Amino acid sequence: MSNTPVADGRATSCAACPLRQKRALREFSADELAIVQRMKTGELRMKPGASFLRQGERNEHFYTILSGWAFRYKMLPDGRRQILNYALPADLVGLQGSLMVEMEHSVEALTDVTLCAFPRERLWTLYSNSPSLAFDITWLAAREEQLVDEHLLTLGQRTALERTAYVLLHLYTRAEEVGLTRGSDPVHLPITQQHLADTLGLSLVHTNKTLKRLHVAGMIRWKDRLFEVLDRQALAAAAGGDITRIRQRPFI
Amino acid sequence: MSNTPVADGRATSCAACPLRQKRALREFSADELAIVQRMKTGELRMKPGASFLRQGERNEHFYTILSGWAFRYKMLPDGRRQILNYALPADLVGLQGSLMVEMEHSVEALTDVTLCAFPRERLWTLYSNSPSLAFDITWLAAREEQLVDEHLLTLGQRTALERTAYVLLHLYTRAEEVGLTRGSDPVHLPITQQHLADTLGLSLVHTNKTLKRLHVAGMIRWKDRLFEVLDRQALAAAAGGDITRIRQRPFI
DNA sequence: CGCTTGATTGATGCAAGTCAATTATGGTGG
DNA sequence: CCACCATAATTGACTTGCATCAATCAAGCG
C-alpha cells in the first residue's frame, strides 16, 4: 500500500490531518492512514446549536471531531436535560448509533464544528482490514465510558462545590490535552452557566452561586467565555482529587 | 477449523456453555467458538463480597460472567462509594483495565460468581483473528456506556422517587433478559438497601423511605432478597418512561 | 443467648431548589 | 443613534427534598 497522500476533492487528506501533529495522539502507519482515508467520505460543518446526532434516530455516519466543541446529552420527555460529556477535537461521536439500532443520546455543537464523516457500513470493513484500528476504536469507546463513570461518581457522591470544581478542572485538562490553551493559561470555554448546570445536575441559580464561591476563593476566573485556573492545587483539592490524565491516545 | 468441542481440563467447554442457550444471545459460528475456546484460560469462582478487580491495579485478565451477580463501583478517598452498574451473566467485566494501563473502577461479587477468564494479551490475538468477535467486544463496550449514560441521566435529573423506580425496573428487566426470573415473577435481587442507596446517590434512610412509598403505592414488593414488580405500568410511569430493551446481543 | 447485619421510623437541620427581580450585553431595525 | 429585544449572569428571599442523628426492631448464627 502506498503512503502517498490521496488526492481527492475532500477538504483534508488524512496524512495532512492537523490533529496528527498533537503530541497526545499516537502515530499511524502508512497502511492505517490509507485505510482511514478510504473510509472517510468527507467533512461536515456544523453551526453552534445544531444537533447533528439525535436520540431515537438511526445515523448513517459516525464522526471524528476535527475542530470545535460539542456535547452529548440525553433528555427526559418533560424537557429536563442531562449533559453526559463534552466532545473535543480527536473525539469520536456517534459510534454507539452505528453499532446499535439507533442513538440513545444526542450531540449538539457548541462552536463551529468540523467533522470527519465515516459511513456506518464501512466500520465492518475497518474491522476486517485493520485489527489495530479496530483496537483503537474499542479503546476510544472504553475511554468514553471511563469518563462517564467518573462523571457518575461526581453526580452521585460529590457536593455542589466539589462537582463544580471537578467538572471545570476536567474540562480545562482535556482542553489542554488537545492543545486548546493558547499561550499559557486561559481557555475559550464555549458554554453557558446553563450548560454547566445541566452537566452538574444542579439548578442554574445554585450553579451560579457555587461558581461565585470558587471565584471568591481565588481558584478560577471565568468571564466572557474565557476560563482560567488561578490555583490548580486548591481547585483539585476542592474537587477531591486531581483529574486522571491520559498519556498517549489513539484517534481515527 | 473443527467444530468438535475441545476437551481439556477446563470446567466448561465453550460449545457447551450454558449461556449459549439463552434466546437473547446471538449464535456463534464454529470458528468463533473455537477462537473463544482457545482464548479462555479457565474459570474462576468468587465469594460474595470479594472484589476481584480493583481500582488502581493492573489486571491481567478480563472476564465474562457465567453465573451470579456483581457490581462495578468507584470510591472517593474518604470512603464515599458510587455503584456504576451491575454485572449479570453474559456481561463482560475488566475490559477497560485490559485496554488501559490500570482499572479506574472496582468490581465486587454479590453472590457466588463464576467467571470465564481471558488473558489481556490474547485480546490482541482475537482482534487479529476474528473481526466479528472484535466487533462484538466493541458492541459490548458501547452497550455498557449506554447503560452508564442512562444512569447518569437518572442521577442528574430524576427525583428520588423516579430514580428508585427507574433503577429497580432496570434491574428487573435485565434479570429477565438473561432468564433469571424463575417461573413468573419474583427475582432474587442479591443487594441490600445500602447497595441501592449507593447506586442512587441517596442516603440509606431516604432510600428506605422512598422504597416504602413505592411499596405502599402497590408497585413493588421486596422482602428477603426477593423482588417483585406488582404494577409495571405504574412503576414505569413513576420512573418517567419504560426501560430500553435490547433485542439480540453478543457475548464472548 | 448475645452479636452482628440489615431494615425501619421519627425528629431536626441544611443544601440545594424555586421564585422573582435586576443588571449587563449584544444585535437589529427604524 | 437609539429604542427595543433576547440572552446570560447575578442576587436576595423563601421553600423543600433529602441528609443526618438517633433509636428501635428483626433475623440469622456461632
Tell me which residue in B80, B137, B145 faces A96 most closely, judged by beta carbons.
B145
Find the mean pLDDT for residues B156-164. 98
Statement: residue B11 has pLDDT above 70: no
Statement: residue B94 has pLDDT above 50: yes
Q: pLDDT value at position B6?
A: 34
Find the mean pLDDT for residues B195-215. 98
Weakest mean pLDDT among A194-203, B11-20, B42-51, B155-164: B11-20
Q: What is the pLDDT of residues A140-168, one digit of tens each?
A: 999 999 999 999 999 999 999 999 999 99
Statement: residue B250 has pLDDT above 80: yes
Residue A250 per-residue DSSP state: -
Say yes or no: do domains A14-147 and A151-239 share a fold. no
Q: Protein contacts on strand D: list nucleotides below 7 Å from a Cβ.
A: 7-13, 17-22, 28
Q: pLDDT value at position B183?
A: 64
Q: Residue B36's closest CA among B60, B6, B65? A: B6
Q: pLDDT value at position B2?
A: 36
What whole-number distance in Å separates Cα of residue B172 and Cα of residue B176?
6
Distance measured from the CA of protein residue B47 to the C1' of nucleotide C1, in angstroms: 29
Weakest mean pLDDT among B20-24, B107-111, B240-244: B240-244
Q: Protein contacts on strand C: list nucleotides below 7 Å from a Cβ.
A: 5-11, 15-20
Percent of chain B with pLDDT over 70: 94
Find the residue closest to D26 using CA and C1' atoms: B224
Q: pLDDT value at position B248?
A: 79
Domain ranges, ordered by start, for chain A? 14-147, 151-239
Amino acid (one-letter) located at B250: P
> Nearest 5 degrees, angle CA B232-CA B234-CA B240?
100
Cell 413505592, residue located = B214
What whole-number distance in Å separates Cα of residue A26 and Cα of residue A22?
9
Per CB-CB distance under 8 Å, the chain A contacts of B62 are none
Residues 72-91 of chain A with CB under 8 A from chain B are 72, 74, 76-78, 80-82, 84
Mean pLDDT of the residues in chain A: 91
Per CB-CB distance under 8 Å, the chain A contacts of B152 are 74, 82, 84, 148, 151-152, 155
Statement: residue B198 has pLDDT above 80: yes
Say whether domain B151-239 belongs to CATH 1.10.10.10: yes
Which distant-in-sequence residues (6+ apart) come within 8 Å of B209 by Cβ?
Answer: none
Residues 164-193 of chain B with CB under 8 A from chain A are none
Statement: residue A250 has pLDDT above 90: no
What whole-number distance in Å separates Cα of residue A239 and Cα of residue A225?
21
Q: What is the pLDDT of residues A228-244, one digit of tens each?
A: 999 999 999 999 877 77
Say whether domain B14-131 belongs to CATH 2.60.120.10: yes
Please tell me the class of the A14-147 domain: mainly beta
**Size (chain B), residues:** 252
Q: pLDDT value at position A10?
A: 53
Distance measured from the CA of protein residue A249 to the C1' of nucleotide D26, in angstroms: 54
Q: pLDDT value at position B5?
A: 32
Contact state of B138 with A141 under an 8 Å Cβ cutoff: yes
